[in-house]
């Protein structure tokens, strides 16, 4: 890194950058310099602390990617709030934000309501806008097991994703069963953006055939008749046109739904990243509420997350718009006084940078530059920041297109042994099902200059915050048990954290809708929310483009150049197009 300019590095591919191995030493890119230089931890932390102390708290922002452990995430938000800001944008803003927003209004919780065991008791699992084969391979096992116990699976996707149509479990080779099985019983090949129309069709079908759970609707919900009225305005012609499906198909799916006592709906980016993401997630929720499929064994909503701890990070308070309930418990538990005004999310943060309103930008992992929506704009906005700091394991583009000065702080990965104060430490994470469990490293660290994320945050806090601060940062820098005790006092659901997390499979966080059909919404009810259908009409000669993830790539990290499920090799920049459309235009496949 010292011998090559950042401009030269920026010309390399992402694949090349990731292949350079681990970052093993703190590095500094001074203002007006084009090469990183080695720097000691003390010097690095001093530079950040000076930058933070020389401007108002709201001129700093703290980004988080989703791999950060609960303990480090908790300390990180505690530090940001002690410093005086809620500027905590995170990768979740670009991922399942719409799930959180939609579900909070519908059922009073921003996460899913199913456990893994529910899959064993489900009659019908809807997999909507999600490709578990590539992105959640372990979920295929849960789907296969559910199917063997009699569940039906409906796949809603413009593409017939391979994992769901041709599934082969590695262990089946051992049992000498060589055939692959089709997991999906039905594939509803919606148009891109056609899910809301499909949901309207399913709702209409169930209402008109009386396939609804009257008890649930009366006792626990609000907004049902309003929704029914609004649905009358949606014609079947519009539903067919917008969804790209024919009425009979939708009715057959409706029949399967009506015949099922316990339905799970899973979804991911195929819904969340649409402009109407919040609305369409509420439509899916409407459908489940209609049949009383919340708070029932084998049923519920299941937004399937990406990063291993993105859900836990939010639970720990990585959130630019925290609720008063959350903040007051945080303050009572830790003795700090959190700022109340909301901070920047990812998009607002980029705007603020562009307007010259950010002096210090710290990233706990991730690749802000490449993951955010408009790379060029983000790069030019970042360039206006005084100091950008990346706490990372591996090199990526965010280390090369930086603020006026930049730091790289190399941290331990979760697979590495973390010994602090003579004791081996472990951390915890929360999965999509709300289960909190331990994560322990077992390989030797790549360098003795690496530090744990918690250590880095606490060492910074000790420099920036007054020495009589209410939090014992010294202790937390080397003792995750102490941090868990503080979390237990400061965040609901984590009582006896240290004891419960040590159980072999961890513990499940409280989930009021699932546990006892308690809905912590404004009216205390589960809400049917009506939303107008989005405009999915296309202009003449226009096409819709969607993005999909591929094999051998994890978000911005490129591990290889092959997507074996799709038979695409040697390239990452691929546009797939309907052959008929290409023919009509006389367009040809590029041959290399
Ligand atoms: N190998 C690998 N695994 C990953 C990741 C990775 O990059 N690589 N990323 C991780 C992260 S952070 C996340 S968030 C998850 C994401 O997991 P997924 O959400 O499964 O990821 P995508 O491939 O982006 O999924 C988009 C899916 O939605 C479909 N789709 C697109 N538009 C529509 C639509 O309008 N309606 C419907 N019904 N479907 C639509 C696409 O065909 C595709 O199957 O994966 C995680 N796991
Ligand atoms: N065009 C497009 N953009 C998207 C998406 C899309 O589908 N299409 N998906 C969006 C989604 S769903 C998400 S979640 C975001 C993801 O946005 P980010 O989370 O910001 O991006 P990642 O590529 O997951 O981050 C990878 C980097 O994290 C660092 N890293 C890896 N492990 C660790 C660790 O243990 N500790 C630390 N400190 N650092 C580590 C490495 O340096 C690595 O280069 O991107 C979003 N952006
Ligand atoms: Mo994600």
Pick the atom of ligand 1 nearest to 131's CA.
20
Q: Nearest residue CA, atom 45 of ligand 2?
A: 371
Ligand 2, atom 3, residue with closest C-alpha: 371
Q: What is the pLDDT of residues 228-278, one digit of tens each?
A: 999 999 999 999 999 999 999 999 999 999 999 999 999 999 999 999 999
pLDDT in tens, 13-23: 999 999 999 99
Q: Please say whether the beta carbons of 73 and 65 come within 8 A.
A: no
Beta-bridge mates of residue 424: 419
Q: What is the pLDDT of residue 167?
A: 64
From 1, 16, 361, 392, the mutation candidate for ligand 2 (largest count of ligand atoms within 8 A of CB) is 392
Q: How far is the CA of 132 from the centre of ligand 3 (A)?
A: 13
pLDDT at 541: 87
> Which ligand 1 atom is at minimum distance from the Cα of 161?
44
Taking the mean position of all CA atoms in its chain, how far away is CA 53? 32
Residue 361, beta-bridge partner list:
61, 388
Is there a contact between 451 and 477 (Cβ–Cβ < 8 Å)? no
What is the reported pLDDT for 179?
Answer: 55
553 strand-pairing partners: 558
Q: Whose CA is nearest to atom 4 of ligand 1?
A: 135
**Whether 509 contacts 497, CB under 8 Å:** no
How far does residue 283's CA lie from ligand 3's centre (Å)? 21
pLDDT of residue 182: 79
pLDDT digits (tens, 9 = 90+) for 185-213: 999 999 999 999 999 999 999 999 999 99
Which residue, judged by its Cα, is nearest atom 18 of ligand 2?
366
Spatial separation of the C-alpha atoms in residues 402 and 7, rounded to whole Å = 11
Residue 169's pLDDT is 58
* pLDDT value of residue 180: 61
Measured from the Cα of 398, ligand 2's closest atom is 44
Q: Which residues of 250-283 are buried (b: 16+ CB within 10 A; e: fewer)?
A: bbebbebbbebebbbbbbbbbbbbbebbbbbbbb
pLDDT tens digits for range 130-173:
999 889 988 999 999 999 999 999 999 999 887 777 666 555 54
Contact 98, 272 (CB under 8 A): yes
- 174 has a pLDDT exceeding 50: no
Nearest CA owner, ligand 2 atom 12 = 95
- Lookup: tokens for 530: 């009506």
Q: Which of 268, 310, 560 to mutate to test the pocket of ligand 1 (most atoms within 8 A of CB)?
A: 268
pLDDT per residue as tens digits for the range 302-357: 999 999 999 999 999 999 999 999 999 999 999 999 999 999 999 999 999 999 99
Smallest CA separation from ligand 1 atom 13, residue: 306
Task: Give 308 Cα–ligand 3 centroid separation in angstroms.
Answer: 10
> Has residue 101 got a pLDDT over 50?
yes
How far is residue 528's CA from residue 217's CA, in Å, rounded to a whole number? 9
Beta bridge partners of 439: 427
Q: How many angstroms separate the Cα of 312 from the Cα of each of 92, 306, 397, 484?
A: 11, 12, 26, 13
Ligand nearest to the CA of 63: 2
Confidence (pLDDT) at 160 = 85
| Residue 441 CA to ligand 2 centre (angstroms) | 21
Nearest protein Cα to ligand 1, atom 10 = 306
According to DSSP, the β-strands at 405-410 and 27-29 are antiparallel
96/269 Cα distance (integer angstroms): 8
Distance, CA of 141 to CA of 124 (rounded, Å)? 16
For ligand 1, atom 15, name the residue with the nearest CA: 306
The span from the CA of 462 to the CA of 455, in Å, is 10
Residue with CA closest to ligand 1 atom 12: 306
Residue 176: pLDDT over 90: no
C-alpha angle 415/418/422, rounded to 5°?
155
**Residue from 90, 91, 190, 269 whose mutation best tests the ligand 1 pocket (most atoms within 8 A of CB):** 269
- Element housing 325 (H / E): helix 324-334
Between CA 196 and CA 188 the distance in angstroms is: 13
Q: Who lines ligand 2 at CB under 6 A?
A: 65-67, 91, 94-95, 269, 306-307, 364-368, 371, 391-394, 396, 411, 413-414, 453, 547, 555-557
Pocket test for ligand 1, best of 92, 549, 554 (most atoms within 8 A of CB): 549
Note the pLDDT tens digit of each residue in 516-574: 999 999 999 999 999 999 999 999 889 999 999 988 899 999 998 888 878 888 888 88
Nearest ligand 2 atom, CA 306: 14
pLDDT digits (tens, 9 = 90+) for 361-401: 999 999 999 999 999 999 999 999 999 999 999 999 999 99
Looking from the CA of residue 557, the nearest atom of ligand 2 is 23
pLDDT digits (tens, 9 = 90+) for 463-508: 999 999 999 999 999 999 999 999 999 999 999 999 999 999 999 9
Backbone angles phi, psi at 117, to 5 degrees: -65, -30
Q: Phi and psi at residue 428, in whole multiples of 5°?
A: -130, 155
Ligand nearest to the CA of 196: 1
Identify the band that residue 591 occupies on the pLDDT scale cut at 50, 70 and 90: low
Closest CA to 273 of 192, 342, 202, 191: 192
Q: Say how many Å lie between the CA of residue 306 and the centre of ligand 3.
A: 4
Closest atom, ligand 2, to C-alpha of 396: 44
User: From the CA of 46, how far away is ligand 3's center (Å)?
Assistant: 33
Q: What is the whole-number distance in angstroms between the Cα of residue 307 and the centre of ligand 3?
A: 6
Averaged pLDDT, 75-83: 98
Q: How far apart are CA 96 and CA 92, in angstroms?
A: 6
The residue ranking higher by pLDDT, 85 or 181, is 85
Q: How confident is the model at residue 178 (pLDDT cuts 50, 70, 90)?
A: very low
Q: Which residue has the tokens 């009386």?
A: 210
464, 60 Cβ separation under 8 angstroms: no
CA of 371 to the centre of ligand 2 (A): 6
- Reply yes or no on whether the pLDDT at 580 is more than 80: yes
Q: Are 153 and 184 in contact (CB under 8 A)?
A: yes
- Residue 178 to residue 173: CA distance in whole angstroms: 6
Residue 98 has pLDDT above 60, yes or no: yes
Pocket of ligand 1 (CB under 6 A): 95, 128-131, 134-135, 156-159, 161, 190, 192-193, 195, 268-270, 306-307, 546, 548-549, 553-555
pLDDT at position 177: 47
User: Pocket of ligand 1, candidates 14, 127, 129, 199: which has the most ligand atoms within 8 Å of its Cβ, to mutate?
Assistant: 129
What is the distance between the alpha carbons of residues 250 and 236, in angstroms, rounded to a whole number? 10
The whole-angstrom separation of Cα 18 and Cα 265 is 35
């Amino acid at each position: 890194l010292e011998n090559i300019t950042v401009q030269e590095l920026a010309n390399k591919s992402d694949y090349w950058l990731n292949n350079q191995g681990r970052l093993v030493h703190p590095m500094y890119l001074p203002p007006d310099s084009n090469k990183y230089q080695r720097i000691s931890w003390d010097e690095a932390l001093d530079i950040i602390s000076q930058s933070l102390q020389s401007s108002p708290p709201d001129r700093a922002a703290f980004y988080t990617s989703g791999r950060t452990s609960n303990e480090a995430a908790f300390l990180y938000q505690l530090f940001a709030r002690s410093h005086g800001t809620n500027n905590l944008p995170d990768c979740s803003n670009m991922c399942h934000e719409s799930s959180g927003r939609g579900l909070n209004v519908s059922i009073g919780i921003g996460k899913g309501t199913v456990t893994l065991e529910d899959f064993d008791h489900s009659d019908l699992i809807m997999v909507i806008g999600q490709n578990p084969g590539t992105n959640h391979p372990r979920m295929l096992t849960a789907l296969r097991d559910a199917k063997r116990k009699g569940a039906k699976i409906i796949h809603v996707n413009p593409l017939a994703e391979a994992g769901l149509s041709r599934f082969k479990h590695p262990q089946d080779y051992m049992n000498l069963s060589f055939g692959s099985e089709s997991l999906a019983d039905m594939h509803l090949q919606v148009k891109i953006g056609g899910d809301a129309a499909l949901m309207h069709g399913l709702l209409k079908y169930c209402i008109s055939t009386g396939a609804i759970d009257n008890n649930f609707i009366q006792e626990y919900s609000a907004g049902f008749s309003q929704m029914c009225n609004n649905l009358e305005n949606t014609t079947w012609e519009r539903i067919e046109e917008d969804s790209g499906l024919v009425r009979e198909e939708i009715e057959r799916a409706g029949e399967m739904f009506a015949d099922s006592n316990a339905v799970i709906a899973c979804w991911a980016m195929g819904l969340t990243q649409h402009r109407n993401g919040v609305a369409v997630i509420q439509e899916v929720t409407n459908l489940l509420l209609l049949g009383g499929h919340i708070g029932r064994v084998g049923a519920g909503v299941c937004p399937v997350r990406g990063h291993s701890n993105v859900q836990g990070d939010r639970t720990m308070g990585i959130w630019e718009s925290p609720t008063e309930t959350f903040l007051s418990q945080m303050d009572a538990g830790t003795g700090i006084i959190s700022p109340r005004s909301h901070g920047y999310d990812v998009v607002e943060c980029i705007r603020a940078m562009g307007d010259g309103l950010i002096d210090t930008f710290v990233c706990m992992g991730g690749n802000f530059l490449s993951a955010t929506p408009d790379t060029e704009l983000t790069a030019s906005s970042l360039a206006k920041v005084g100091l950008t700091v990346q706490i990372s394991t591996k090199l990526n583009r965010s280390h090369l297109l930086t603020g006026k000065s930049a730091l790289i702080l190399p941290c331990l990965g979760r697979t590495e042994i973390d010994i602090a104060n003579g004791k081996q430490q472990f951390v915890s994470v929360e999965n999509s099902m709300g289960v909190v469990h331990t994560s322990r490293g077992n390989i030797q660290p790549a360098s003795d200059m690496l530090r744990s994320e918690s250590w880095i945050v606490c060492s910074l806090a000790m420099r920036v915050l007054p020495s009589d601060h209410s939090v014992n940062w010294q202790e937390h820098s080397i003792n995750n048990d102490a941090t868990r005790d503080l979390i237990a006092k400061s965040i609901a659901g984590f009582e006896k954290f240290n004891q419960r997390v040590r159980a072999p499979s961890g513990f499940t966080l409280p989930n009021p809708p699932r546990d006892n059909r308690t809905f912590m919404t404004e009216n205390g009810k589960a809400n049917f929310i009506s939303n107008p259908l989005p405009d999915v009409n296309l202009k003449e000669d226009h096409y819709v483009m969607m993005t999909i993830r591929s094999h051998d790539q994890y978000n911005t990290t490129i591990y290889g150049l092959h997507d074996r499920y799709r038979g695409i090799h040697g390239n990452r920049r691929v546009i797939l197009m309907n052959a008929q459309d290409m023919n009509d235009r006389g367009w040809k496949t590029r041959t290399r």
